[in-house]
Amino acid sequence: MIVLFANKKYSNLFWLAIIAIFTIGIYFQSLNNQFLSDWDDGIYITNNVDLQSSKGITVKEAFTSFSNGHYHPLTTLSYRAEYNLFGLSAKAFHTTNLLLHIINSFLVFAFVWLLSKQQLTAFVTALLFAIHPMHVETVAWISDRKDLLCTLFFLGALCTYFIYKRDNKSKWYIITFLFFLLALFSKAMAVTLPIVFLAVDYFLSGKFSKKMILEKAPF
């Protein structure tokens, strides 16, 4: 099996598998945690009568209202989808958080690999991202789902933006913009993404230009 994964065709899968194993090993116990109803879990899920009503929170309502003073309709809809499928099963909500963190770690690997073309660099960076203690609250606290979803689309946008700069095909620019919107609908901190695009531009070309700045205008 090791020989198979050592083959260039499968080596990325090997590194990703290691990242997933380490991440699951560290966060597996969080799946047994309950809701923190005295914290935001009560506001967003366990005591949210709109979420638990037979009608539920519609897409229109999610996109035209605030939740606990925050605007994150995609996060709200993710809670609604889980409630429809699993009810108030804390394990299901925690499992989703863990899966999102694993996917985000994979996206870190993909982005660093696109930048460096070095598997070891991408692996070490993604593994540190996956197991770093600063992510414990985000993964283990259900109400921090907004960070996980925002990071998912934020990193996805960085990957597609790099491909756009490399291939110069407009479809990748459009996909990047869609990822940007999804990140914003998950958490407002995604407004920083255009600045990160400029950092990617500088990394690739070593300079800034008027065209680079105007290119970010739609964002």
- Does the pLDDT of residue 8 top 90, yes or no? no
Residue 112 lies in a domain: no
User: Alpha carbon of 118 to those of 124, 144, 152, 204: distances in Å?
Assistant: 10, 32, 22, 16
Residue 24 lies in a domain: no
- Does the pLDDT of residue 3 top 60, yes or no? no
Residue 34 lies in a domain: no
Residue 211 lies in a domain: yes
pLDDT category of residue 50 using cuts at 50, 70 and 90: confident
Q: Among the listed ranges 7-11, 41-45, 138-142, 160-164, which one has the minimum average pLDDT value? A: 7-11
Q: Among the listed ranges 13-17, 49-53, 162-166, which one has the minimum average pLDDT value? A: 49-53
- Does the pLDDT of residue 6 top 50, yes or no? no
User: What confidence score (pLDDT) does residue 68 get?
Assistant: 77
**Which residue has tokens 């095909």?**
169
Residue 202 lies in a domain: yes
In angstroms, the CA 201 to CA 71 distance is: 30
User: What confidence score (pLDDT) does residue 4 get?
Assistant: 34
pTM: 0.90
Print the domain residue range for 149. 141-219
Residue 73 lies in a domain: no
Is 57 within 8 Å of 45 (Cβ atoms)? no
Q: Tell me: the pLDDT tens digits for 166-200?
A: 998 999 999 999 999 999 999 999 999 999 999 99
- Give the number of domains in the chain: 1
Residue 63 lies in a domain: no
* pLDDT (average), residues 2-22: 73
* pLDDT (average), residues 87-111: 96
In angstroms, the CA 13 to CA 5 distance is: 7
For the chain, how many residues are written?
Answer: 219
Residue 128 lies in a domain: no
